[in-house]
Amino acid sequence: MLRRANIIARVRELEREAAHAAVDDPEKLRLHVYRQLVSLATSDITDVVKVVLPGDQEYSDALDQDAEQNDGQYGLPFGDPLVYVRPTDSLPSEVTAAIKSIRKTKDGVQVEMHAKDPSLRILSEATGIIHGGDLTVNVSIADRIQAARERMKAQ
């Protein structure tokens, strides 16, 4: 059901309503910001753009999309892979939130995603992985040495 455009649109509408309601509640706002950061940090260009090979099921869709961009003219791919940009109405809001821009150029469609680095840094700092630019790893050396000694005794 989550592939239907009308259902996706309704889910997005409810998410926007929840985001607006969150402004009045700091805890809900914190959760909303956290989810947005996770969306930016975990989405990938392959969520939006796919390279399809002639045997792939989406190959004809990619040919249709290419023709649509070229005034109905179908190219002759000669079995070459095609770049298929997935329709945005079928993408979940977590993915569309990570899209910085989509524009048509003379060479086709260009998709640009938001940078992951800032979101990953904020999430790392918020979760305590990074403190002031320093990476903190909580590993007890004593525990590791003791475990190694026990393994050696068992042999």
Percentage, residues of the chain above pLDDT 90: 6
Residue 84 burial (C-beta neighbours within 10 Å; 0-12, 13-18, 19+)? buried
For residue 88, give both structure tokens. 């945005």
Q: Please give the model's pTM, rounded to 2 decimal places.
A: 0.58
**pLDDT tens column, 110-142:** 899 999 888 888 888 887 777 665 655 555 676
pLDDT at 102: 92
Gap between the Cα atoms of 6 and 10, Å rounded: 6
What residues form DSSP beta bridges with 45?
none
Which residues lie closer than 8 Å to 47 by C-beta, 6 or more apart? 86, 91, 95, 98
Domain segments of the chain as ranges: 5-115, 116-155
Give the pLDDT band of residue 1 (cuts 50, 70, 90): low
pLDDT at 113: 92
Q: What are phi and psi of 141, to 5 degrees?
A: -65, -40
Q: Which has the higher per-residue pLDDT, 83 or 118?
A: 118
For residue 1, give both structure tokens. 């059901």
Q: For residue 83, which of 45, 40, 115 has the smallest C-alpha distance?
A: 45
What residues form DSSP beta bridges with 51?
83
Q: Residue for token digits 């809001």? A: 93
**pLDDT tens column, 100-109:** 999 988 877 8
Gap between the Cα atoms of 18 and 130, Å rounded: 30
Compute the C-alpha angle 119/49/10, nearest 5°.
Answer: 75
Gap between the Cα atoms of 101 and 68, Å rounded: 20
Return the half-sphere exposure (C-beta side, CA atoms, 13 A cut-off) of residue 5.
4
pLDDT at 101: 93
Query: How confident is the prediction for the chain on average, in pLDDT?
Result: 79
